[in-house]
Structure 1
Amino acid sequence: MSKTKKVHLIGNAHIDPVWLWRWQAGYAEIKATFRSALDRMKEFPDFIFTSACAAYYKWVEENAPEMFEEIKQRITEGRWVIVGGWWLQPDCNIPSGESFVRQGLYSQRYFNEKFGIMAKTGYNVDSFGHNGMLPQILKKSGMDYYVFMRPGDHEKDLPGNLFWWESADGSRVMAYKIPFSYGNWSEKHSDDPLRHKTLEVKKLAEEQGYDMMNFYGVGNHGGGPTIANINTILKMQAEESGEQYVFSSPNRYFEEIRGEYEQNQYLLNLPVIKDDLQHHASGCYSAHSKTKKLNRKAEHRLITAEKFATISYELFNPSCPDLSDLQPKLGSAWEKVLFNQFHDIMGGCSIKEAYEDAEEFYGQALTIGAEVLNFAVQTISWNINTMGDATFSISKDKDWMLWEMGERGVPFVVFNPLAWEVNVPVQVHKSVRGITDEEGNPLEIQSVRASQTNAKDKWDTLFIGRIPAMGYRVYWLYLDKSFNVLKVEHQDNQLDKGNQSNQQNSYNDKNSDGDKYNKSKACNECNQDTVNILHNVKVTDNSILENAYLLVEFDKHTGYIKKMYDKVNQVEVLSGYGAVPIVIDEFDSDTWAHGIFEFRNEIARFSDARIQVIENGPIRAKIRVISCYNASELQQDFILYSDRKELE
């Protein structure tokens, strides 16, 4: 190359707000690190500081407003550069797509409101892996570039440190993989590790044919660029002619790269990666499962709460002014969830006390979500006309829980937050004799064990509800009024015509209980037969689940599935035992599973099982398997519905 390659020195401080310390320590460290960066700017006029994570700025704004104003001034000068555009640096695999969107929405909105700018560069330097759809979310959040460090060179082979990263929809960001480390650390011991690492990055730049970035500064527990770091850079600048080592930022680096794009042959042929950037620390995706469960629960609740709060607001805001207060509450709850998605929290690799704090944050978010959701659906349901044209007073003369008057029934409203119609089991927390839809059509019901035991009051009622997309449906409960529900044959497209007659004979041979399974006329358009199936489900011999589609048999000693027969396709699904709980030896693995890419060292299996029939139709059947390994017990519940082709 005719032109000597340049190294952009990126002064930063990787700050884990939680890791081997709790968030309160992280809170203090952020303020101290930001103060240090501001001091360096006073001492060294060429120094530039790069920092991400909107949550950190909000903490400083709330607790150190004078410092916050000083940061605003430095941002205006261009010496304090905001990157990231997300609330913090989350795990980039586990959160839902909606959470990634919220990371961008809440952060970019905050940066725009407080500083009049939005981040241009995505920035997750320590996250353990990066799912392949992030380019789309980054682009739609206003970011054209992305900086990361993991996975390492030994974990994923990449064509270079600079490339286009493209998601499945065609969205692209220019991505840069940080070489060696995001701080002062260098692989080789040296009296001046920053100098050594900078020279190594310079060598890489010459080899790969383009300028590169070298990140420096004390990290993890904050700290940032030190006086010694900056003096090293100034000394290296004095030793070299030209601008080979420059104080810079990711924004400047990418802008310069794009500026020379057409003149640099390598850049014209910049590789395109259409893939996840994986895998690093695979052990983190099973560590501390409770946090992962709470994350998903909180995500779903807040999304559902916001949907129905929005509907309620649009329908009833003039008559219900309190609805306008719900959005700030939801925003506060989302900030707690986004914070807990920090990679060291979500990855299960922080200290025990940190997870006690995380549970408190999830508790706040879940409580707010529950309150907002309840307020919204109560507002909607209270405005549904379930009285018709009748006018009468209500009184609890018949039952201490339900408000049934005579035999009019009790309205029971079921909501669906999803964008498609669902056919789902609904559990009524009361034992009733009958249930109908809004048109009076009786539904099949099943008594199931309730969570409470109050003398004889220990049963709930299960039915299958069909609920419209993003809507609700009213059902009617009857304490004493029962109905005869006729079994209806359901049409189902099955195998190719040529296999149908053989299947019919085989099924009749295997199905001794007389369940009806009859062919109807062929579907010419799809070249398949349509058959009528009577939906039933049952347990036999205390160890066999069966409906019109599946027969599942459990080994009475081990509790394993020893037979799963697909009746429709006449296929034995398993070649051996299924649902076998195994014990894996992970003694040689740390929390992150560094250097480990599979877990296959099986040392034992749970066995010596007790099998219990928990439910036995007509809507669903449930078998519970309780198996043992030494002093440990494992409980597995297997559920088969009368109308479904899969085992839960």
Structure 2
Amino acid sequence: MHDDRVLIERRIARILRERLRPAVHGADVPLSVGAWHAPGEPVPVADALRAPYRPARAGEAWGPAWGTSWFHVTGSVPPEWAGRTVEAVIDLGFATDRPGFSAEALVHTPDGAAVKGLNPMNTWLRVADRAAGGEPVDLYVEAAANPLVQGVGSPLGEVHTAGRDPLYHLRRVVLAVFDAPVWELVQDVEVLTGLMHELSVDDPRRWEILRTLQHAFDVLDLRDVPGSAAAVRAALAPALTAPATASAHRVSAVGHAHIDSAWLWPLRETVRKVARTVSNVLTLMDSDPGFVFAMSSAQQWAWMQEHRPDVWERMRKKVAEGQLLPVGGMWVESDTNMPGGEALARQLVHGKRFFLDELGVETEEVWLPDSFGYTAALPQLVRLSASRWFLTQKISWSQFNRFPHHTFWWEGLDGTRVFTHFPPVDTYNAELSGAEMAHLVRNFADKGLAHRSLVPFGHGDGGGGPTREMLARAARLRDLEGSARVEVEPPARFFAKAFEDYPQAPVWVGELYLETHRGTYTSQAGNKRGNRRSEHLLYEAELWAATAAVRTGHPYPYDDLDRIWKSVLLHQFHDILPGSSIAWVHRESRETYARLAGELEAIIAAAQRALAGDPGAGGEVVFNAAPHDRDGVPARGASRVGEPQPPVTRTAHEGGYVLDNGLVRATIDARGLLVSVVDAASGRDAIAPGSPANLLQLHPDLPAEYDAWDVDHAYRNTVIDLTDVEVLEPVADAAVRVVRRFGRSRVTQVISLPPGAGRVDVDTEVDWHESETFLKVAFPLDVRAERSAAETQFGYVYRATDTNTTWEAAKYEICAHRYLHVTEPGFGVALVNDSTYGHDVTRTVRPAANGTAGGTTTTVRLSLLRAPRFPDPDTDQGVHRMRYALVPGADLADATREGHRLNLPERRVPGDTEVAPLVRVDHDGVVVSAVKLADDGSGDVVVRLYEALGARAAARLDLGFAAAAVTATDLLERPGGEAPPFDGTGVELALGPFQVVTLRCTRPQGPLE
């Protein structure tokens, strides 16, 4: 019986492959083809339509990597095909079996309007539903020779190194008769065979399908497939009409195309990918009014508005008709580990506002299927953006622990909960196959409690979207025995049903840590630095521009700030900021960050000049945007130069040096290593005895797969300590310079103590030329810390320092923003940085002479550089500068303050005016994250602040300007929440732990004060 089954299944597969699929497009005639190869970058459609075309033929080579070729395809429908359905079939020589990673094309009419995309899984274009015969065919095909970038060291990821040899050959350009009955038969067979193979051999339904297929294929005339297709379908009908059981799992199928805004292709190509995909989707909508497609990333919609107005207008129509659905509410599907709190808020602000302003749609889902872990700050931001639901799929990639739920409440830092769903189909590129449906039913973690899940279907990553074959499967799986029940419907409808079905879903508290792709916290360090610097420059630009506007009437640069924010948000996409894109993408991102920094510096300088007064008066104004303790300079204000700080001393000591500023005493030994850092207030030495700090360490770094993405835990098994010193010398300002060489690289460090600051600064420059190597810097601390506190957006997250469970052991590389803090009762230490995100924290016990514990060393390490070779073979090669600092005796308030100070240095401007703070907070644990003018141009001042220490805070926000009223708003500056008490000069705030509050301060009409 087993051999009989196997033989039948093989026969079915062969007939499907060799007889049915080839018969879908039967008779064909060649089309005439002209070719024009665009020089360099893609050209506007209008230019291509006027270009000189030369004759081309099947088999002709075209397309050097990243090149664009245009093909003019002409012909006419043969008269004898009258009454038949006719399609153009255009195969450009596609190199893979999936779209988005090979040649792609967009078909245009002679007037330049986009019609439909072409890719390896979608080579057809409808010419006539019912031909009259003689219809002319006149098409322009914009073909992109996108290479499949694969393999370590591939030069294809950079246009300058990819070469000029053609990658593709024209394979087939024909007019063909589309045989609808044969196509329908193919869909019948594929659905039944897919379902059959997923059912147990002990399931009678499997055998029923097998015997039905066997009988149906006995009816098939192999010499006349079209003529016998209807009879075969009739024989299959009983297997396709058997209804699903009442308890069958319910699937909400949502058309989707997860298009990475950049990855194995540059940003400019994503614009074209979106146009191709959306054109395909719109074509499907025209033929199937029940089809809905969810599209995230407002940036991608904005690209169509800017670059393809013809496509944009069709999109607007389908949005109005309810078929094309904006989702996500974010500017791009960003990384959520590394963007700062304000940036993550602006992702939602700019995304949701675009959909509201341009399409009149209030998105309610935060849609992030593919980011590499999810910050615990997100639930609060989701709700503050007036969104209700959260969706991701990526957690199914975790390597060690299976997440216990697919539908649940996710509770964030502050206690906010958001209803969340992980599609159990375990892909955001589903094809609605029988295998996928069977997997999601088996995989669903909430069986017996919940009864439905969502499936995003459509080719993604590189685009393409749903196909007509997928919609055919959905129709057949709507009510089919042995399968889940499938219904194509909007995600909002799914979430409403899921919530009604499972309102008492379990709760997951804290971050959604992804147990893979940990290397993304470090890869492409230049990107990380560019992002961090851009975020802080934007903060300063808004603060000082708002202050200058209120104080002096200086023009507020609304449009420039809006544009710059959107550029920074774009580059936080989850394959750009994480460092997992091709060389071309990262080269452009570094250039963009440099350009934006210049623009922001100019905005800041102009605002500060307007505030500083007479530059020729001989004075100097100090502008400081960092928070300070209550005895320091007022937060968010400027002043004349204050009292000088006590001097820093440097003395020679046993071949090294001792630095002392009265708050910290740091000892540097003859190897240039920190062997002691004493906090003067407590007298405690932060460095563990016998274990030097600021110790650079090298590890081999060749993960099992996903080079730029992953850091495998086995890397720790091999380590080289960099203790040889080439130069150890005093430098100006009582600092010490240390130079080391290793391999082909060189490190220069300047160790110093800032006057009046309780920290040790290390300014590091690395000329990095290693390969597949991980560079870390270790700080072994004499602290018994049971957990670490890592700054995240609008607060911090605790993580255990032990490895008692697999969940804890899996977090061997963690993300932190400006600080990582460890403490024992009575004494803590912070490590702060200006551009680094990757960290690890481990504990060891120092034995005493009698075998008891002699003390605990908690080692905190910063991950400085990596050197993966895929997808960018030259990742991080070159010069990098990074600053970090050790803060002994620090509590969380100190860590927060010093982290800000390292990222927001003072600025000194010639002038004679003391500038009072625009706003001032009287509580060390309350941090202002934004001071700006309202986005609507009203001139109102918007202040966003948060409780940073995880405690309740009663704070007063004083306003340094006249305000008529202060109201609480959502992130989009719309009224929402309880208004705080306002007494004319400030407001009293009662903040919960990690609470984020946005206040809109309405300024009175009339002249500026």
Give TM class, smaller chain. Answer: 0.7 to 0.9
Are residues 639 and 536 of structure 1, via their aligned partners in 2, closer, same or farther at CA, if it must alter by over 3 Å? closer
Partners of 2:672 and 2:738 within 8 A in 1: yes
1:471 aligns with 2:716: no
Q: Distance in 2 between matches of 1:574 and 1:238?
A: 67
Measure the CA separation in 2 of the matches of 1:413 and 1:216.
58
SS at match of 2:268: helix
Alignment of 1:269-308 (within 5 A): 269-279=504-514, 280-308=516-544
Higher helix share: 1
In structure 2, the partner of 1:342 is: 573
The Cα shift of 1:359 comes to: 2.0
In the alignment, is residue 577 of structure 1 matched against residue 577 of structure 2? no
> Residues 115 and 469 (structure 1 numbering): CA distance in 2 closer, same or farther, change over 3 Å?
same
Kept after mapping to 2: 8 A contact 1:133/1:168: yes
Contact 1:415 1:467 in 2 (8 A): no
* C-alpha distance 90-242 of structure 1, shift in aligned 2 (>3 A): closer
In 2, Cα distance between equivalents of 1:296 and 1:96: 8
Q: Is the 8 A contact 1:88 1:342 kept in 2?
A: yes
Is contact 1:237–1:245 with CA below 8 Å preserved after alignment?
yes
- Whether the 8 Å contact between 1:554 and 1:561 is mirrored in structure 2 is yes
Does 466-475 or 106-115 show the bigger shift?
466-475
Matches within 5 A, 1:27-66: 27-66=271-310
- Does 1:555 find its partner at 2:800? no
Q: Is the 8 A contact 1:91 1:343 kept in 2?
A: yes
Larger mean CA deviation between 158-167 and 90-99 belongs to 158-167
Does the Cα contact within 8 Å between 2:703 and 2:710 map onto a contact in 1?
A: no
Aligned partners of 1:544 and 1:551 also within 8 Å: no
2:590 maps to 359
Structure-2 change in CA distance of 1:156 and 1:101 (3 Å) = farther
Q: Is the 8 A contact 1:159 1:271 kept in 2?
A: no
Partner of 1:453: none
Where does residue 201 of structure 1 map in the other structure? 440
Q: Report which stretch shifted further, 124-133 or 251-260.
A: 251-260
Letter in structure 1 aligned against 2:439: E
Greater displacement, 12-21 / 206-215: 206-215
The answer as to 2:454 corresponding to 1:218 is: no
**Which position in structure 1 is the counterpart of 2:601?**
370
- 2: distance between equivalents of 1:4 and 1:486? 75
Q: Write the deviation string for residues 605-625 of structure 1: whole angstroms up to 9, x where unpaired.
A: 2232134444465xxx21111
1:157-306 alignment, distance < 5 Å: 157-184=402-429, 194-205=433-444, 207=447, 209-237=450-478, 239-240=480-481, 244-260=485-501, 267-279=502-514, 280-306=516-542
> Match of 2:717?
601
24-33 vs 578-587, which moves further: 578-587
After superposition, the Cα gap between the structure-2 partners of 1:25 and 1:242, relative to the gap in structure 1 and judged at 3 Å, is closer
Name the residue aligned to 1:418.
626
1:147 maps to which of 381, 384, 391: 391
Matches within 5 A, 1:395-434: 410-420=618-628
Instruction: Tell me if the contact between 2:441 and 2:484 (Cα under 8 Å) persists in the aligned partners.
Output: no
SS for the counterpart of 1:294 is helix
Q: Does structure 2 retain, via aligned residues, the 8 Å contact 1:91–1:127?
A: yes
> Secondary structure, in 3 states, of the residue corresponding to 1:413?
strand
Shift of 1:105: 0.8
| 8 Å contact kept, 1:202–1:212 | no
In 1, distance between residues paired with 2:550 and 2:682?
A: 49
Aligned-pair RMSD on alpha carbons?
A: 2.7
Structure 1 counterpart of 2:412, one-letter code: S
SS in 2 for 1:299: helix
Structure 1 residues 565 and 204: CA distance shift in structure 2, 3 A? closer
1:417, distance to aligned residue in structure 2 (A): 2.2
Superposition pairs of residues 427-442 of structure 1, within 5 angstroms: none
Aligned-pair CA distance for 1:550: 4.0
Cα deviations by residue, 1:498-556 (Å, 9 ceiling, x for unpaired): xxxxxxxxxxxxxxxxxxxxxxxxxxxxxxxxxxxx86522324622232454433332
CA distance in 2, matches of 1:204, 1:259: 22
Kindly state the Cα deviation for residue 127 of structure 1 after the two structures are TM-superposed: 0.4
Instruction: Tell me the secondary structure at the aligned position of residue 344 of structure 2.
Output: helix
Counterpart CA distance in 2 for 1:361 and 1:150 is 29
Secondary structure of 1:222's aligned partner: coil
State the partner residue of 1:502: none
Count of paired positions:
508
CA displacement at 1:135 relative to structure 2 = 0.4
- For 1:586, the equivalent position in structure 2 comes to 701
Deviation at 1:15, TM superposition (A): 0.2
Residues 336 and 372 in structure 2, CA contact (< 8 A), matched pair in contact too: yes
Change (3 A) 1:413 1:571: closer
What SS does the aligned partner of 2:334 have? coil
Cα deviation 1:130-171 (Å, max 9, x = unaligned):
010100011111111011112225454432101101112121
Runs of at least 4 residues of structure 1 off by over 6 A? Answer: none
Percent of aligned pairs with the same residue? 22
Q: How does 1:113-152 map to 2 (within 5 A)?
A: 113-152=357-396
Q: What is the Cα deviation at residue 275 of structure 1?
A: 1.3
* Letter matched to residue 658 of structure 2: L
TM-score by length of 1: 0.73
Contact 1:165–1:272 under 8 Å retained in 2: yes
Listed one character per residue, the Cα deviations across residues 575-627 of structure 1 (whole Å, up to 9, x for unaligned) are: 2222211110112354245483464133322232134444465xxx2111112
Distance 1:151 1:202, change over 3 A: closer
In the alignment, the residues of structure 1 paired with residue 713 and residue 367 of structure 2 have an alpha-carbon distance, to the nearest angstrom, of 25
Judged with a 3 Å threshold, the aligned counterparts in structure 2 of structure 1 residues 255 and 71 are, in CA distance, closer, same or farther, namely same
Partner of 1:442: none
With 90-99 and 351-360 compared, the bigger mean Cα shift is at 351-360
Closer, same or farther in 2 for the Cα pair 1:184/1:468, shift >3 Å?
closer
- Rounded to whole Å, the distance in 1 between the matches of 2:609 and 2:541 is 12
Q: Which runs of 5+ in 2 are unaligned?
A: 1-244, 762-1009
- TM-aligned CA deviation for residue 58 of structure 1: 0.6
1:89-132 Cα distance to aligned partner (Å, 9 max, x none): 11111000000111111111111111111210001111001010
Relative distance call for 1:309 and 1:422 in structure 2 (3 A) is: farther
Hey, what's the Cα distance between the residues in 2 that align with 1:351 and 1:133? 30
Aligned mates of 2:635, 2:513 — CA distance in 1 = 36
Using a 3 Å threshold, how does the CA distance of structure 1 residues 250 and 624 change in structure 2: closer, same or farther?
same
For residues 460-504 of structure 1, what are the alpha-carbon distances to aligned partners after superposition, in whole Å with 9 as ceiling and x for unaligned?
Answer: xxxxxx64322211239xxxxxxxx999xxxxxxxxxxxxxxxxx
User: Residues of 2 paired with 1:110 and 1:102: CA distance?
Assistant: 12
**Which amino acid in structure 1 is aligned with residue 666 of structure 2?**
V
Match in the other structure for 2:231: none
Q: Which residue identity is paired with 2:415?
A: G
Structure-2 separation of matches of 1:587 and 1:378: 51
CA apart distance, 1:74? 1.5
1:89 is aligned with what amino acid?
E
Partner of 1:528: none
Is this contact kept in 2: 1:284–1:591, CA < 8 A?
Answer: no
Partners of 2:714 and 2:577 in 1: CA distance: 20
